[in-house]
Amino acid sequence: MTDHPFRFGAVAGQAPDSDAWAGLARRAESLGYSTLLVPDTLGTLSPFIAAAVAATVTTTLRVGTYVVSAPYRTPETVAWETSTLHRLTGGRFELGLGAGRPDAEQDAAALGVTFGTPGQRIERLAKTIDAVTDVRIMVAAAGTKLLRLAARKADTVALGVPPTYTEEQVAAKLDELYELAGDRFNDLELSMNLVAVGDEPPAWLRGRLGRIDSTSTGLLSGTVEEMTETLRRRRDKLGISYVSVNAQFMDELAPVVERLAGT
């Protein structure tokens, strides 16, 4: 059981133009989402710029990164960008950080930066966290070393587990975090991402993920009442109170957001 209230984020990184991006941000705000979160890949919008634009066209929506890849920028650069956004958004910016996906080395090469070994990337992530002030920090983590870092330094821990994981598999990962966090565990906000909402994931998603069904934590299915109860159960059982969703499914989750946000 956790004392953290529910909040919801929409994850988006694509828009054909500024009007479309502004419309998506306003839509997220009107549907009751707490945050609009932008990925950090070369195939998506630049996260800091996109977050700034989204904040400019909204009033209560918080904006964030999901998640900045620490190897791509120096800690000082991230701190500079973060400080600027914190000031210009009226404190509505949240920084999501990660050590870089294993498949992101090609992006790093294109950017002209050294991706580094896993150990070097985690060290860069730790230095980046230490360089940043004044904002909430989310750390995406799954392996033991990243979970240990998140347990010590994060405000929010985004569990970077496959969407096909069952609740039992997620619980085992959280048991590890509990041991690592000690007295800090109850202070941590726990987050997971939904890749799809609905009884049947789209074909393109099935092709990418393989077997994903009603037992998979990355897919939320059933009636509005059933989906609401599923998220309540996960918060009671697992402590997960911050739920993000692929913005493609923002409208499908909206009735659940209306019922649970802030409770």
Whether 2 maps to a domain, the answer reads no
pLDDT in tens, 189-236: 999 999 999 887 767 666 666 677 778 999 999 999 999 999 999 999
Residues in a beta bridge with 159: 141
CB 182 within 8 A of CB 158: no
* pLDDT at position 197: 95
Inside any domain, residue 216: yes
Residue 1 domain flag:
no
The predicted-structure confidence for 164-198, as pLDDT tens digits, reads as follows: 999 999 999 999 999 999 999 999 999 999 999 98
Q: In this structure, is residue 71 part of a structural domain?
A: yes
Going through the chain in order, the beta strands assigned E by DSSP cover: 7-11, 35-38, 62-65, 68-69, 93-98, 137-141, 156-159, 189-194, 196-197, 219-220, 240-246
- Domain presence at residue 17: yes
Beta bridge partners of 110: none
| pLDDT at residue 205, rounded to an integer | 66
Answer for the pair 114, 130: CB distance below 8 angstroms, yes or no: no
With b for 16 or more beta-carbon neighbours within 10 A and e for fewer, the 222-252 pattern comes to eeeeebbebbeebbeebbbbbbbbbbbbbeb
pLDDT 10s digits, 69-127: 999 999 999 999 999 999 999 999 999 999 998 788 888 889 999 999 999 999 999 99
Question: What value does the mean pLDDT take over residues 138-151?
Answer: 97
> d(Cα 56, Cα 73) in Å, to the nearest integer?
24
Domain count, the chain: 1
Note down the domain range covering 201.
7-260
Q: What is the pLDDT averaged over residues 228-256? A: 97
**What's the rounded Cα separation, in Å, for the pair 146 and 177?**
10
> What's the CATH code of the domain at 200?
3.20.20.30
Confidence of residue 1 (pLDDT cuts 50, 70, 90): low
In the prediction, which pLDDT does 213 show? 76
More confident residue, 2 or 121: 121
Element (H, E) at 74: none
Q: 65 pLDDT exceeds 70?
A: yes
Q: Assess if residue 67 is contained within a domain.
A: yes
Q: What type of residue sits at position 195?
A: V
Does residue 45 form part of some domain? yes
Predicted pLDDT of residue 19: 98
**37 within domain boundaries:** yes
